[in-house]
């Protein structure tokens, strides 16, 4: 064994020279056909279980119904009321969360490995015996409406809702947003029907990771293998986008506002498009990290904002390229102009290799972080699998980061970074 010489500075190795390996998952089916994706890793005695249902807002018939149903799963069964159910998780130091997205809804459990035998039956009761009591729905409505009232006073919240409605259409699942009257229209019967259709008789995937007991697969099969399950995922409804005709919007939300929320966004293909991975590199250089061109110009040089970022939305179907920031009311228009000037610079000038190397190392360094620990590993796999991709997508993305050329990025900038393609919104 070589002894470290602490008088010599260790050699520095850039991430671009690393070889990346995505730890594989174990895949198996429960007795009822529910697919399980499992990663056994980590030294800490903790694990995570995620149940992913085809129960997102694209399946709802009333606005806000999918989110309400998902939230109320933890608010009472025939044997445990909401307080008792939450107390049962907390007694063992476990944390059970639920979340609802456009296509999917999730139940996530974090627990000590030694307590999983106690937590799985509790999780099953919660998922298979929810009552959706009228008083719990009323509390949910009141809290949601109050939270909505507060959020609608924030320009940033309003801007995020509106820009999606302009890009996709106000009736599209990606562009729809809930108003107080929509929450009032939700009934207990609506929740119970949605629960029956999309949870009790719905399609489910299970992702489990961490320091797993040896009999984890047997325990999962014993608890969840007898539930009803639709083998094939539900077909997504028609989600044809209907973008707004007008491209520029200025909206006064608060007459006393001293700053405005800016959104500049353009429709963009999803992860299956051949340009997507290269555009991720271009976006990172443009506005995807603290050292990006947008940040260097608009924050560091101009001082218009504390932070400005651009990103590609992670949707399963259509997507969008979004620039997001908040700036002083008097400099909002100047900020937008600087964004377009940075787009122009990328269209007209070749990126210097030193700057591109910085971006490569930053992106690959991030990937190294995403491969650290079982929870991060599973998050990476879950994103790949839910987007109907495979491990080749991961290795292709790493190769793209390492090899994409400045000329290729300039060509993509010419193709996608044209101001006339972007919707432009300022909410004061």
Kindly report, residue by residue over 400-416, the tens digit of the pLDDT: 999 999 999 999 999 99
**CA 83 – CA 342 distance, rounded (Å):** 53
Q: Hey, what are 64's tokens?
A: 């806000």
Residue 230 lies in a domain: no
Residue 60 lies in a domain: yes
Clarify whether residues 371 and 255 are in a common domain: yes
Residue 201 lies in a domain: yes
**CA 136 – CA 139 distance, rounded (Å):** 5
Give percent of the chain above pLDDT 70. 99
**CA 153 – CA 217 distance, rounded (Å):** 48
For residue 311, give the CATH number of its domain. 3.30.830.10
Average pLDDT over residues 115-136: 94
Clarify whether residues 75 and 178 are in a common domain: yes
Residue 71 lies in a domain: yes
Average pLDDT over residues 230-253: 84
Average pLDDT over residues 65-75: 96
User: What separation, in Å, do the N-terminal and C-terminal C-alpha atoms of the chain show?
Assistant: 64
For position 239, what pLDDT does the model report? 78
Q: Is it the case that residue 238 has pLDDT exceeding 80?
A: no
Q: Is it the case that residue 360 has pLDDT exceeding 90?
A: yes
Contacts of 28 by beta carbon, 8 Å cutoff, 6+ apart: 35, 36, 38, 217
Q: Is it the case that residue 13 has pLDDT exceeding 80?
A: no
Question: What confidence tier does 230 reach under pLDDT thresholds 50, 70, 90?
Answer: confident
Question: What confidence tier does 227 reach under pLDDT thresholds 50, 70, 90?
Answer: confident
Question: What confidence tier does 232 reach under pLDDT thresholds 50, 70, 90?
Answer: low
For position 1, what pLDDT does the model report? 55
For position 18, what pLDDT does the model report? 77
Confirm if 426 and 261 have CB atoms less than 8 A apart.
yes
Clarify whether residues 327 and 368 are in a common domain: yes
Q: Which helix or strand (DSSP H or E) is residue 126 part of?
A: helix 116-128
Confirm if 103 and 168 have CB atoms less than 8 A apart.
no
Top-confidence residue, 7 or 37: 37
User: CB atoms < 10 A from the CB of 43, how many?
Assistant: 8
Domain boundary among 161, 192, 224: 224
Residue range of the domain that includes 272: 248-427
Clarify whether residues 308 and 381 are in a common domain: yes
Q: Hey, what are 13's tokens?
A: 């190795």
For position 2, what pLDDT does the model report? 66
Cα-only R_g, the chain? 24
Top-confidence residue, 226 or 221: 221
Q: Is it the case that residue 11 has pLDDT exceeding 80?
A: no
For position 226, what pLDDT does the model report? 86
Q: Is it the case that residue 15 has pLDDT exceeding 90?
A: no
Q: Is it the case that residue 34 has pLDDT exceeding 70?
A: yes
Average pLDDT over residues 361-370: 93
Clarify whether residues 187 and 46 are in a common domain: yes
Confirm if 416 and 321 have CB atoms less than 8 A apart.
yes
**CA 11 – CA 262 distance, rounded (Å):** 44
260: Cα within 13 Å, side-chain hemisphere: 22
For position 3, what pLDDT does the model report? 74
Clarify whether residues 202 and 288 are in a common domain: no
Clarify whether residues 282 and 187 are in a common domain: no
Residue 2 lies in a domain: no
Residue 86 lies in a domain: yes
Q: How many domains does the chain have?
A: 2
* β-pair type (105-112, 46-53): antiparallel
Question: Over the range 300-317, which residues count as b (16 or more CB within 10 Å of their CB) and which as e?
Answer: eeeebbeebbbebbebbb
**CA 343 – CA 405 distance, rounded (Å):** 18
Clarify whether residues 266 and 388 are in a common domain: yes
For position 90, what pLDDT does the model report? 94
Angle subtended at Cα 153 by Cα 148 and Cα 158, rounded to the nearest 5 degrees? 75
CB burial of residue 119 (10 Å; 0-12, 13-18, 19+): buried
Q: Is it the case that residue 25 has pLDDT exceeding 80?
A: yes
Q: Hey, what are 5's tokens?
A: 């010489």
**CA 258 – CA 218 distance, rounded (Å):** 59
Top-confidence residue, 12 or 53: 53
Average pLDDT over residues 200-216: 94
CA distances for 393 relative to 68, 247, 284, angstroms? 34, 34, 18
Residue 3 lies in a domain: no
Q: Hey, what are 245's tokens?
A: 């005709």
Clarify whether residues 218 and 252 are in a common domain: no
**CA 85 – CA 351 distance, rounded (Å):** 56
- Reference 218, options 51, 378, 45, 36; nearest CA is 36
Clarify whether residues 141 and 290 are in a common domain: no
Clarify whether residues 204 and 270 are in a common domain: no
For position 77, what pLDDT does the model report? 92
Residue 14 lies in a domain: no
Clarify whether residues 303 and 169 are in a common domain: no
Residue with tokens 């990937």: 367
Q: What is the mean pLDDT of the chain?
A: 93
For position 4, what pLDDT does the model report? 74
Average pLDDT over residues 313-324: 92
For position 427, what pLDDT does the model report? 97
- Reference 43, options 369, 376, 367, 373; nearest CA is 373
Confirm if 92 and 119 have CB atoms less than 8 A apart.
yes
Domain boundary among 164, 189, 224: 224
Model pTM score: 0.90
Top-confidence residue, 9 or 160: 160
For position 233, what pLDDT does the model report? 67
**CA 188 – CA 26 distance, rounded (Å):** 39
For position 219, what pLDDT does the model report? 96
């Amino acid at each position: 064994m070589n002894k470290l010489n602490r008088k010599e500075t260790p050699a520095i190795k850039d991430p671009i020279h690393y070889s990346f390996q995505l730890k594989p998952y174990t895949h198996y089916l429960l007795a009822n056909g529910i697919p399980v994706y499992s990663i056994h890793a980590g030294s800490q005695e903790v694990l995570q279980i995620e149940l992913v249902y085809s129960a997102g807002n694209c399946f709802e018939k009333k606005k806000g119904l999918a989110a309400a149903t998902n939230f109320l799963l933890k608010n009472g069964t025939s044997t445990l009321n909401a307080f008792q159910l939450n107390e049962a998780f907390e007694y063992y130091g476990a944390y059970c969360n639920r979340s609802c997205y456009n296509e999917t809804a999730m139940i996530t459990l974090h627990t000590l490995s030694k307590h999983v035998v106690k937590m799985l039956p509790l999780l099953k009761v919660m998922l298979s015996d929810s009552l959706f009591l009228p008083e719990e729905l009323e509390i949910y409505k009141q809290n949601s409406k109050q939270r909505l009232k507060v959020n609608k006073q924030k320009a940033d919240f309003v801007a995020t809702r509106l820009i999606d409605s302009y890009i996709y259409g106000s009736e599209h699942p990606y562009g729809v947003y809930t108003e107080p009257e929509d929450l009032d229209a939700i009934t207990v019967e609506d929740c119970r029907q949605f629960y029956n259709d999309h949870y009790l008789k719905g399609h489910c995937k299970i992702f489990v990771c961490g320091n797993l007991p040896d009999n984890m697969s047997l325990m999962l099969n014993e608890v969840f293998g007898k539930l009803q399950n639709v083998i094939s995922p539900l077909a997504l409804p028609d989600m044809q986008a209907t973008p707004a005709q007008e491209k520029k919007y200025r909206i006064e939300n608060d007459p006393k506002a001293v700053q405005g929320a800016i959104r500049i966004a353009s429709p963009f293909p999803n992860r299956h498009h051949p340009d997507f991975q290269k555009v991720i590199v271009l976006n990172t250089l443009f506005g995807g990290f603290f050292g990006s061109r947008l940040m260097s110009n608009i924050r560091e040089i101009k001082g218009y904002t504390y932070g400005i970022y651009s990103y590609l939305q992670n949707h399963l179907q259509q997507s969008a390229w979004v620039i997001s920031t908040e700036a002083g009311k008097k400099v909002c228009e100047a900020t937008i102009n600087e964004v377009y000037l940075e787009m122009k610079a990328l269209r007209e000038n070749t990126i210097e290799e030193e700057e591109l190397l910085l971006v490569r190392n930053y992106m690959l360094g991030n990937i190294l972080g995403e491969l650290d620990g079982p929870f991060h590993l599973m998050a990476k796999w879950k994103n790949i699998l839910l987007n109907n991709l495979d491990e080749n997508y991961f290795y292709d993305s790493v190769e793209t980061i390492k090899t994409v050329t400045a000329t290729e990025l300039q060509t993509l900038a010419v193709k996608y970074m044209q101001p006339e393609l972007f919707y432009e919104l300022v909410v004061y």
